[in-house]
Amino acid sequence: MATECRLDPRLQIMTETVEGLIPGAAPAALSISVTEKLTGPGERSNSWTGSPAGLAEKLFTALYGRPDTGERLSPLAQAEDAKRARDIGAEIAALQRGHADLTTAPWYPARPGDLVHVHYEAGGLSQAFGETYRITAGIDGFLSMQLLCHTLPEDTEFLDSMVGCFAVDDDPDPLMELWFEAGPHRLTVVRDGRPVHAGGA
């Protein structure tokens, strides 16, 4: 739980606010109890007891979704997780959030001359590797994204199906598919020699 608090300041603030209900109390010694008294014969009740951090996490999840546990998922992977959980609201929210994160970035939209690097973790078919794409002006007024280079050895099995899959010609938004599938945390966008998006940082 402590790791999650450090990763998202909103969760940290919620936790500290709940802990602050008793000024000067030691957080490790605090617990929260919520009791529902039921009407009718007898002294019946339902209750929930937990830590301030547990309550903060429940509130955070209700407002923002699950706290960041360090595992970064692409918008598409988040939507697929929600779909498997049969939570259509969370599925739609993940896709909308991914779109908004891209389209509201201060460096958006892509421009001719931008370099886009994507990092892939080691997996079942290959070692960790990277690809670099170059944004160019397309023929019909949109943008193209061409594979410039990759770091996989040339003798890698299935090389042709593993590299260059995000190259596009004349696309109104050449970064969209890469942003959604690989995820912004795997991308670095360089403009005029300076990184304008460093997702892995």
Structural domain boundaries in the chain: 1-71, 72-104, 110-198
Residue 69 near residue 3, CB atoms below 8 Å: yes
At 42, the pLDDT band (50, 70, 90 cuts) reads: confident
pLDDT-wise least confident of 35-44, 84-93, 95-104? 35-44
Residue 20 clears pLDDT 80, i.e. is over it: yes
Residue 66 corresponds to which tokens in the numbers above?
A: 């699950």
Residue 108 near residue 139, CB atoms below 8 Å: no
* Euclidean distance between CA atoms 30 and 79, whole angstroms: 36
At 160, the pLDDT band (50, 70, 90 cuts) reads: low
- pLDDT for 2 equals 35
* 21 three-class SS: coil
Residue 8 near residue 68, CB atoms below 8 Å: yes
pTM: 0.60
At 4, the pLDDT band (50, 70, 90 cuts) reads: very low
Q: Output 126 or 76, whichever has higher pLDDT.
A: 76
- pLDDT for 161 equals 65
Mean pLDDT of 103-128: 84
* 196 three-class SS: strand
- pLDDT for 1 equals 35
| Residues in Cβ contact with 188 at an 8 Å cutoff, skipping those fewer than 6 apart | 116, 117, 119, 195, 197, 198, 199, 200
